Amino acid sequence: MTKPNIILFMVDQLTSFVLNAYGGTTCKTPNIDALAARGTVFENAYCPYPLCAPSRFGMMAGRLPSRIGAYDNGAEFTASTPTFAHYLRANGYYTCISGKMHFVGPDQYHGFEERLTTEIYPADMSWTPDADFRDYNKDEERAYTFGVSTIDTVRDAGPVARSMQIDYDEDVIHHAVRELYTRARSDDTRPFMMTVSLTHPHDPYVTTQEYWDRHPEDTIDAPQVPHIPVEQRDAHSQSLYYHYGQDKCALSEQDYRNARRGYYGMISYVDDLFGRLMQALDESGYADNTVVLFASDHGDMIGERGMWFKKTLFNPAIQVPLIIAHPGHAPGRVAAPASLLDIFPTLLDIGGIRGEAIKTPLDGRSLMPALRSEALIGPVFAEHIDGGTSAPRVCVRDGDKKLVISRAYPPQLYDLAADPLEQVNLAGQGDADEARLTELAEQTWPLDTLLDDVIASQVARKLIDNALSTGREEIWDFTPRPLTQNTNYVRRGDAFPEVEQRGYLPYNTKRTSS
């Protein structure tokens, strides 16, 4: 049997509950809906960290971010950390990425044989948070810091003719589509693993008039959990309120409606880009032998509870879409909790890499048994460590119970079967599962020493970043190589009509890998 091709389609900051496949009723996403109809929908999938870089690093490494030093958006993803791209490449796959993975550090490949675009965010350590975040005082004057979303962007919501994120994602899809057609016309018969990663629907909540108009104002739903006054919120949510500057910028109901409208418009834009890629996959002849995974790095509160963005462990920020469409398996739905950390072992399982061939300790497990309707058993874990919290906060979900603990904040325990919107904190009320989940969390994280490790890392990275920005700078940002050996165009020695015919790609030619 030939190894299947693999496409991992990543988006940024898409919470799962707004999608039709997850019970949403507002977003127009026909292409994602079609994938869900032919794939397996993991109804309760979680990111390992509600922030871009740590979540993505953890997913690529199959490890909790804190176990590989991915404490924040300025943490280096070390070249010595094995990724799923390394494993697949070493086992015969052509590995390629188009788009964002938020790599920080001089290694901008991490096992990918080819990169088609640059990153949208800096590859240096300049987004390292100040190490004094644990001493945060809400009454002090605060300046916005690099890499931190601000509440001002909620008020920016509305239609725009163009944005930085649109420029980037258009480039991502253009190069990904082109790469599919190029491989279909090449002599390289290796199976491919292509990661296509967008920056939408990350805030700010702006989109073009076309997508703004797809969701008329009278169709925009209100938050499921209404605004909670800041003084009535849990202690960490109060800290986050000031971290994002919500005290500096009053939001009206119209601001909420506009931001959610812009968010839904961006999701429809994502859907159209995904549809373009799926069309190219079909026209290039690969559709029947390609596994497609759709996921997001984390979610967005989008006004739920009066909260925005991420850096919280409430479900809208950490529960993400995860859909796997495998041509060899029937569609289905899985209610058991899953994690982005499961993607690493799942991709290796799809590629036939199992057992002793895997030398890396992993914090996830393959999801392939779930595609065969086998039970998916075990807890999932998430963590939040960087700015916006006084100490690391960690989360365990096992079955319907979800626990959040920290050395700096009171515990939170929710029964998601009875309380899916997490409005009743059961911690300290004698729930039989609290002690068990607490012990599991304490065994998973060194909470007594983790904060000191984070602070030491941030102090060191700040020193390094300051030094490397003095004098001649060595830029780590990836620059795509020019097409010096491109065979798609006419070059010296080429003759008509052969050179033109070489570029033809017939429809409906099914392609398999060696």
Give the pLDDT of residue 501: 86
Q: Give, for 156, the enclosing helix (H) or strand (E).
A: none
Backbone φ and ψ for 140, nearest 5 degrees, come out as -80, 150
Model confidence at 409: pLDDT above 50? yes
How far is it, in rounded angstroms, from Cα 254 to Cα 138? 27
* 98 vs 480: CA distance, rounded Å: 10
350-384 tens-digit pLDDT? 999 999 999 999 999 999 999 999 999 999 999 99
- Positive or negative, the CA dihedral 216, 167, 47, 342 is positive
Compute how many other C-beta atoms are within 10 angstroms of the C-beta atom of residue 308.
26
Percent of the chain with pLDDT over 70: 96
Per-residue model confidence (pLDDT) at position 388: 81
Reported pTM: 0.95
Q: Say whether pLDDT at 142 is over 60.
A: no
**Secondary structure (DSSP) of 46-67:** E-SSSSHHHHHHHHHHTS-GGG
Q: What is the mean pLDDT of residues 230-241?
A: 94
Residue ranges covered by each domain of the chain: 5-385
Residue 487: pLDDT band by 50, 70, 90 thresholds?
low
Q: Domain 5-385 is classified in which CATH homologous superfamily?
A: Alkaline Phosphatase, subunit A (3.40.720.10)
What length is written for the chain?
A: 514
The predicted-structure confidence for 38-73, as pLDDT tens digits, reads as follows: 999 999 999 999 999 999 999 999 999 999 999 999
Average pLDDT over residues 481-501: 76
What is the rounded CA–CA span in Å between residue 24 and residue 224? Answer: 11
Confidence band of 510 (pLDDT split at 50, 70, 90): confident
Model pLDDT, residue 100: 96
**Considering the chain, what percentage of its residues have pLDDT values greater than 90?**
84
Task: In whole angstroms, give the CA distance from residue 1 to residue 514.
Answer: 9
Per-residue pLDDT band at 494 (split at 50, 70, 90): confident
What pLDDT score does 141 carry? 47
User: Residue 193 has what pLDDT?
Assistant: 98
Give the single-character DSSP code of 228: -
Q: Is 52 a catalytic residue?
A: yes
Give residue 514's pLDDT band: very low, low, confident or very high (50, 70, 90): low
**Confidence band (pLDDT; 50, 70, 90) for 508?**
confident
Q: Catalytic residue at 102?
A: yes
> Residue 484's pLDDT band (boundaries 50, 70, 90)?
low
Over residues 247-301, the pLDDT tens digits come to 888 899 999 999 999 999 999 999 999 999 999 999 999 999 999 999 999 999 9
Q: Are 50 and 311 within 8 A, CB to CB? A: yes
Question: Please, what is the end-to-end C-alpha distance for the chain in angstroms?
Answer: 9
Q: Widest CA span of the chain, in angstroms? A: 81
Distance of CA 110 to the CA centre of its chain: 17
User: CA 30 to CA 271: how far, in whole Å?
Assistant: 7
| Residue of 52, 86, 96, 384 with catalytic role | 52
User: 394 forms bridges with which residues in the sheet?
Assistant: 383, 405
Q: Please tell me which residue in 102, 175, 243, 298 is annotated as part of the active site.
A: 102
Q: Contact at 8 Å (CB) between 374 and 33? A: no
Distance from C-alpha of 236 to C-alpha of 241, rounded to nearest angstrom: 9
